[in-house]
A and B are shown apart, each in its own frame.
Chain A
């Protein structure tokens, strides 16, 4: 085989490979493989390439953030999304994940920095809603508002977002993660001192998701026990699960 023939065949093979698996997916797979081997340096680099190549891919961005959390690379993640958004200002997915990246850093931040991060996250979630008013965006921002202490009067804003999220989810097929909206909206009503509405929403959720333990627990608890359960949910020192895997698993 001549060198020329080899080069031709190699080029054809590469072309075929490109057509079979887009570059972003190749980067994504390489990134995930490296992360699985605890090679965060290469893993994050590949995942960044994947997100850059396909900014609307929610899975790439989500896995990148989860890898950043594991590697404790919170600032790298924030810088990456900041730059990615500068390049793709109209990507709702990037804004959403940029917001999540702020949330991801909260547990390791000082008490005042936590406030700044939470506020920055809200800004990004709002931009995501402006660009694409999806269930995910409304649910995410609504839930985020509920983390704010009562003194800032943001729970009612959370309720408004979560009501919209419920409206959106009712229009489409039922997904397992839709139960989260019922839990959060009920919590929002509880935080705005409307226990009757809170119980009604949890009850409604339980009709749709009869095996959900969180709904059952909330409906079974009263007074301080209920307060403790809900406040525990919104403890800023605990890591919020921002893994979006459930979205593509269902």
Chain B
């Protein structure tokens, strides 16, 4: 009988009286930084410019330290792609050896390049654009993108020329999602500067025309996947042509629970935008009603249901420092088309000069925690900030002109900032536990990639840093709660199942997660959906809503990664 009960529990259908961890003693989240030991301790390099405006252009383009997580060889272990940005510097493809060590195979795989004299690598994204079951790789650049097709033998082939993705842009972020639910993943780029080559600058008037309401950025571009290995630009047709801000990050998700993927665009130097999907290949902007216009410096978008109310919320980092008090925005989805910023109430408002932020359940208690990286430039003892004051306050000064900005030299600008790990207390508030958790480093963070790299049920973190070494935080929390992790495989839907929503009902809570295609600044996390379950061992229901519109109830075992194929249930 004991054996039978154990077996039933493994199938996650045993009746139990256990409660969620949130109701019991709280587990302490703990991480160990293992970058060196794991073989991933590489240092990022921002692009160095040459000539008269070199220092200022360098200062305005110091992103590019990105991470993309994905199992490119389908061996069951998540691999890590890491970008570099300086001329000639290689990107890294860290193959997961399965024992928390990694081997850089970028050169061998053919994906190390991209930082040529006229292009700067800025972001990367794994996605299976041709639904062949193998993750392809898209490199975003200040320049034209590069699309690598996964040949399935550990090698990649550059197919950019035939893909149609050959338009120049100063792209800083990229996501993939199937906006028209035709079964093929489309691509959206966030473009920071307008499309001029900064490395061969002819006109120095390239900087923002207003530091709170800029309208001369690169906007966004949307590319429709034809299903034949090519993409066609549909930016205007889809309704995004009027976005002219300094788009810095993108997030997608079904914000209004209608089965369609909507979009949030975070813009630096001015208002963010929120677009709802009309379901006919077009979008409508609802910013005014949904969130209102803002003047902040949007840096990151992550989408998740942090309060388990069945509606996806949105977290946007901004800039909060001694000299600039913007506060982040945690947009609570009110379920009626409007969002309310609850960052102050939840304790997630102040994170310094914000960059990436990602929700994840690090302690498996069923409530999504939030890791935020920050810090612009940590250098010498003098600050750059006082030097900017005359630029900002001199009447009539053309701030778009690179020549009117002072060199930063070795000065610090919002540097040495401590990272934040907000533990979700399950009562609508968060508590910063970064120091106790061992993640309160003060590097100049940029991107975050979250995944369970050793398949032990505890989510780990990759943190990229500008001009500084990468960090890999191994989650070593003791006695974590129960969990399930689902890797969804679309058949009628796109193979990556991006946009699929899973609803788990257990222990009195209903958790929803969606597979995202690269939400969050400079970082793509695992596509596997992770559900912490605390002490709960009985799952009432797991329902999947596929992008195709099909719904499916599945049963999966506790405490292991399960593969679920559309229409076939758990297959592994």
* Neighbouring B residues of A210 by C-beta, 8 Å: none
B382-396 interface bits toward A, Cβ cutoff 8 Å, 1 = contact, 0 = none: 010110010011000
B296-331 interface bits toward A, Cβ cutoff 8 Å, 1 = contact, 0 = none: 110000000000000000000001001111100000
Query: Are A113 and B212 in contact (CB-based, < 8 A)?
Result: yes
* Neighbouring A residues of B392 by C-beta, 8 Å: 112, 115-116, 119
Interface size on A, residues (CB 8 A): 17
Query: Are B211 and A110 in contact (CB-based, < 8 A)?
Result: yes
Query: Which of B212, B270, B383 is the one whose CB lies under 8 Å from A151?
Result: B383
Interface residues in B321-356 by Cβ distance below 8 A to A read: 322-326
Please measure, in the bound complex, the distance between the C-alpha atom of A13 and the C-alpha atom of B13, giving whole angstroms: 95
A206-250 interface bits toward B, Cβ cutoff 8 Å, 1 = contact, 0 = none: 000000000000000000000000000001110000000000000
Please measure, in the bound complex, the distance between the C-alpha atom of A211 and the C-alpha atom of B232, giving whole angstroms: 73
A89 at the interface (CB under 8 A from B): no
Question: With A110-B212, A111-B326 given, is the CB distance from A151 to B295 under 8 Å?
Answer: no
Min CB distance A64 to B, Å, is 24
Min CB distance B569 to A, Å, is 51
Query: Are A111 and B324 in contact (CB-based, < 8 A)?
Result: yes
A200 at the interface (CB under 8 A from B): no
Min CB distance B390 to A, Å, is 10
Query: Which of A115, A149, A237 is the one whose CB lies under 8 Å from B393?
Result: A115
Query: Are B325 and A151 in contact (CB-based, < 8 A)?
Result: no
Min CB distance B388 to A, Å, is 9
Tell which of A112, A116, A151, A152 has the most Cβ of chain B within 10 Å: A112
Query: Are B386 and A151 in contact (CB-based, < 8 A)?
Result: yes
Query: Are B389 and A152 in contact (CB-based, < 8 A)?
Result: yes
Min CB distance B377 to A, Å, is 15
A99-119 interface bits toward B, Cβ cutoff 8 Å, 1 = contact, 0 = none: 000000000011111011001
Please measure, in the bound complex, the distance between the C-alpha atom of A236 and the C-alpha atom of B319, giving whole angstroms: 14
Please measure, in the bound complex, the distance between the C-alpha atom of A149 and the C-alpha atom of B414, giving whole angstroms: 13
Query: Are B386 and A152 in contact (CB-based, < 8 A)?
Result: yes
Min CB distance A233 to B, Å, is 14
A115-141 interface bits toward B, Cβ cutoff 8 Å, 1 = contact, 0 = none: 110011000000000000000000000
Please measure, in the bound complex, the distance between the C-alpha atom of A232 and the C-alpha atom of B393, giving whole angstroms: 25
* Neighbouring A residues of B464 by C-beta, 8 Å: none
Min CB distance A224 to B, Å, is 15
Query: Are A119 and B324 in contact (CB-based, < 8 A)?
Result: no
A150 at the interface (CB under 8 A from B): yes
* Neighbouring A residues of B296 by C-beta, 8 Å: 110-111
B213 at the interface (CB under 8 A from A): yes
Please measure, in the bound complex, the distance between the C-alpha atom of A112 and the C-alpha atom of B392, giving whole angstroms: 8
Query: Are A110 and B213 in contact (CB-based, < 8 A)?
Result: yes
Min CB distance B235 to A, Å, is 27
Q: Which residue from chain B places its CB closest to the CB of A118 in the assembled complex?
A: B393
Interface residues in B168-218 by Cβ distance below 8 A to A read: 211-213
Query: Are B325 and A237 in contact (CB-based, < 8 A)?
Result: yes
* Neighbouring A residues of B325 by C-beta, 8 Å: 111, 235-237
Min CB distance A24 to B, Å, is 32
**30 A-B contacts (beta carbon < 8 Å):** A109-B212, A110-B212, A110-B270, A110-B295, A110-B296, A111-B212, A111-B295, A111-B296, A111-B297, A111-B319, A111-B324, A112-B212, A112-B324, A113-B211, A113-B212, A113-B295, A115-B323, A115-B389, A115-B392, A116-B392, A119-B393, A120-B393, A150-B322, A151-B322, A151-B386, A152-B386, A152-B389, A153-B386, A235-B325, A236-B325
For the complex of A and B, 7 pairs with smallest distance between CB atoms:
A110-B212, A110-B295, A112-B211, A119-B393, A149-B323, A149-B322, A111-B324
Instruction: List the interface of chain A (C-beta within 8 A of B).
Output: 109-113, 115-116, 119-120, 149-153, 235-237
Given contacts A110-B212, A110-B270, 11 further A-B contacts (CB under 8 A): A111-B295, A112-B211, A112-B392, A113-B211, A115-B389, A116-B392, A119-B389, A119-B392, A152-B389, A153-B386, A236-B325
